[in-house]
Structure formats: structure tokens, C-alpha cells
Amino acid sequence: MLAGILSTATAFTLWGIFPLYLKLLKSIPALEILSHRVVWSIVLLAVILGLRRQWTWVNKIRQRPRIALVFVASAAMLATNWVVYIWAVGEQRIIDASLGYFITPLFNVLFGIMLGERLRNAQWLAIAFAACGVIWLTIGVGQLPWIGLTLAVTFSLYGLLRKTAPLGALEGLTAETLVMLPLAALFLLLPNSGSSHAFTAGDTFMSGLLLAAGPVTAVPLLLFAFGARRIPLSMLGLLQYIGPSIQLLLGIWLYHEPFGENRLIGFALIWAGLIVYSVQGIWRTWRPRSEAKNPD
């Protein structure tokens, strides 16, 4: 349990401070950063799989080619999520990006309806609060919070696809990265692709930052996969707010992004929904244990 809490909290903390890394790469196009994340991640994952001699999943995909289609879809969701997030950080929209990860749990609940799950009254109330927050942000700020909604939808769909995928965390991440690898390599190698070719431009510091994209991408994902298997879902649901909370604070206090009254009200409505959602999840987890200890 302790190892699970520490590894999961570390993963969410690393995702929370991820804008600090991306700000160092603000002169590089978002698609180029994404491509480097893909290329160097596959190098790191190949090393890990090689050391563990973990290749049996390749035969599983050969025997059941339809498995690959699941990872094509999840790779599309992951790539979209990454490029929108990278772009948002570069365009001084960290607060908007943090919104996406605040409301992701509520989108998970909505997508659960697609799987035939029935929502409880508290879950409907949480979704209603979040919907009011999004409507308020749309009216008060003057535009639909499309960055947050895009990040929430793509990450929720990614989680849904990975939940039904037949491969483990490490193998699944490798399969997704392999799907993205050809396009990433073409973007980096072709002369007129829009890439700045920063890695080969001669700036050692920038080349090192791009090389670090592999571990920066893969390590939090692997820590999350390790920890999520060892802690209750209710605890995981609370820990996942570490990331967007850090991002929000960075956007407000370090990068001085605007956070006026209208945004505060919209976020407050969404936070109210998250409190209802979290309390309901904790209560559902605690109640069976309490009844088991006190059967009378």
C-alpha cells in the first residue's frame, strides 16, 4: 500500500510540474516536441523490455491482429492529448490545461454510462456542478473552454480503451508508441515537415532536453501503472488531483496567467462537483468495511 501511494503520488507530482520542462522548450513547435517524446520513449521502453526479456506480447498481437486496432485508437487519443497540452503550455494556457485534468474523473463517469453503468444521485449532482462550471466559463470568459474539454475527453477515452485492452501497462505503452513512431520519425527527418530540427542544430542544452523527453514521458506512466494496482480506486481518485492542482498554482503564481473572478467562480463550481464525487467514492469504499466490522 505504501509503495503504491508513494509511486502514484510521485507520478502525479511529475505530471504537475511538467509545464516547467515544456517551458524550456517553448521555442520548439508542439508537434516536434511530441515527436521527440515518441522517439525517445520507444528507445527507453525497448531497453526496459530487453532487460526484462518481455516480448511474449508481440506474439499475442501477431495471433490476434485486432488487438492492434485498439492501440491505434488509444495512440490517437494519447497523441491528441499530448499535442494539445504541449501547445497550451507554450501559449500561456496552463490554467486551461489544468481544467481538463480536474474534470477528467467526471468524464470517466459519463463514459461509464456507455458501458451500462448506472449513476448514483451524488454522481449526477457532481456532473451537474461541473456542467454549470463549464457553462459559466463559456459565458463569463467569453469562449468555450475547448482546451480543458479536449484534454478531458481524449484522456478519458484513452483510459477507457486501455481498460479494455488485453496488454499490460508496459507492453501497451510500447504498442501505442510504436503506432506513433513512423509519423514522428517522418516529421523529424523530412526537410519541409515544419520541424525546426532543434536536436541537430548544435545547441547541446536543447538537444539534452529533447533527449530527456523519453524518461520524462515514460517514467510517470510506469510509476502510475505500478501504483494504481496497489491502492484502492477511492485513494487513486483523490491523488489524481495533485497534478492539476500543481499546474493551476504554476499558472497563477509562477507564470501570472489571468485568473479573474469569472474563472474563479467556474473553477469553484467544478471543484464542488469534484468534492461531491470524491466524498461519494470514499463513502462507498468505507461503508462495506464498516458493515463487515459491525454486522449487527
pLDDT single digits (tens) 171-186: 888 999 999 999 999 9
Contact 48, 170 (CB under 8 A): yes
Residues with Cβ within 8 Å of residue 233, at least 6 apart in sequence: 281, 285
Residue located via cell numbers 507554450: 90
Q: Could you tell me how far CA 96 lies from the centroid of its own chain? A: 14
pLDDT single digits (tens) 127-179: 899 889 989 988 887 888 999 999 999 988 888 887 777 787 788 889 999 99
For the entire predicted model, the pTM comes to 0.87
